[in-house]
Structure 1
Amino acid sequence: MLFFQVNTLKTTVDHLTELLTNNECNSNPCRNGGTCLDLFNGFICKCPNAWQGNNCETDVNECSIYAGTDMGCQNGATCTNTPGSFSCQCAANWHGIRCTESHDDCTGASQSELCGHGTCVNVARVLSNQTKYKCICDDGWTKSTSSPACTVDIDECSAQAASCSRNPPVPCINIPGSFRCGVCPTGKFL
């Protein structure tokens, strides 16, 4: 009888030891960036804010949670829940992640459509229907008299802005938005 009790006790201790040493997090049970915390005979997942559930498998509906707060879509935007996040479809005259920035001419089209080889900068309108942006040209580009876009290449070679060698002479070759120097004469180093 004593042998049976000792054997039962040994089996119980072995089982408890196995439960204590087994790391249930080894199977990576937490999904969507959740952090696994190993417990005695189990685990707990610490989920990122956008996920919930025992294994972080359930998407949080941020549209419902953030509705009417500064964290949600603003200014009449339509909120769409997406896996792990949400997006805002802005009403007219608004843009930005949460539709908090008023619409301007620079966001009405791509930078290249509006300014060519330049950067669009909004300016206040003085008259209605007046263009509400200006273009700051990239190096090597300028504007024509008929458009605010930077579409005219500056010929650096004719403007004497190029720094190719003059002694010995090395030809300057204009390329769109820049220039390059021609081949150095044989035996000469610059």
Structure 2
Amino acid sequence: MTSDVCNTTRPCQNNGTCTNTIGTSSGYNCSCTEGWEGINCAEDKDECIEDTQDTQCYNNGTCVNTLGSYRCNCSLGWEGSKCETDVNECLGVPVKNGECYNTAGSFLCLCNAGWTGENCEDDIDECADAMNNVTNKSSLCYNNGSCINTLGSYTCNCTLGWEGLKCETDVNECMGIPVTNGECINTAGSFLCLCNAGWTGERCEIDIDECADAMNNATHKSSLCYNNASCINTLGSYTCNCTLGWEGRTCETDVNECLDTSVCNTSCINTPGSFWCLCEAGWTGKHCDQDIDECATGIHNPFPDNGTCINTNGSFWYNCTTGWEGVPYSYLMAFASRIEYWNNPENQQRQLETLNSTLKQLKNNLTIDKTDITSSRIKRISAPDPRQSAAITGYLGAGILSFVFGLLLCLDLTMCFRRSADQ
């Protein structure tokens, strides 16, 4: 009779399958489920020890035995019963300052410039990093700009004259600077104004007071204007207010007043800053426009008793008393008025001819031989008017005229003398 051990005793545990057998000592056989072993499947199978393909934990997972089974403790980045599945960390990692890339068992964040850290969460202090660089300590900002760290970046506070992210670009100040009195030249980090004459200042906006500068010159105090002229400052220059008799930008040129024929009634001699009129006999004053009253001044005094003196413009007459006659002195004064004309050596022959002709009218048969003109004869008489003495004696023509005057005086023509019938 066969014994049904499996149904009566149910020897197989842990869901093992019992099979009755004949001829065995136990009368049954247990087929154990996975994870169990032994006659009755009562013994836990340590799958981790067997380390078979079926029980292996992948990707460095750790096998942990359990009752009737095992589990794999997966390393970071892996999951699944055997740690066979890669975890996509990028699905749960917030990366604001970069981009997350999943890798086998891990992830990689490619951070934006200015950020670092596993998840790009740390701001990089670029300013400090540049200064702490062992190889090349330098600022990220050029041309003495100041580096200021910001979240994820930095800014450069540029010095005057520079611009750009790193202060690498020169500012062309001349583009925005109005320079009306010169020329603006851009330079590295700055600018230079080349001012026109008469202007100064950073932008040629200040007028130079040339008049004051000349007077305040420690080395040589002087006026820019010559000959006592007044210096007047103007915008970008100056003018000179010249005194009478001078002209030119700095009053350096003498005015030739003698070019104006109305200045003198007779010959004009230009002098520095003025002029001198050579007055004819009988005239005086700066312009020789004032008649000399010879009668009042006593020029006729050598012969006061034989006639009456009558003043005329530039001369005078003798009105002889009854019984007296003579040549009027005014004729001789007329000769004096021609001194300057006679002074021209080229006209001496003409002068002699003119004198001869005139004297012939005054005295019949009177002639002049120029060989008789000697220095001793010249010195016999001075000018009739002391004010003309210097002018008369200074010329050769004065010598000729003096000789004539002396001759006439010797002939007693300048006085009123008795008529022949009365003598």
Larger radius of gyration: 2
What TM bracket, shorter-length normalisation?
0.3 to 0.5
The structure whose RCO (Cα within 8 Å, separation 6+) is larger is: 1
- Tell me the TM-score normalized by structure 1: 0.47
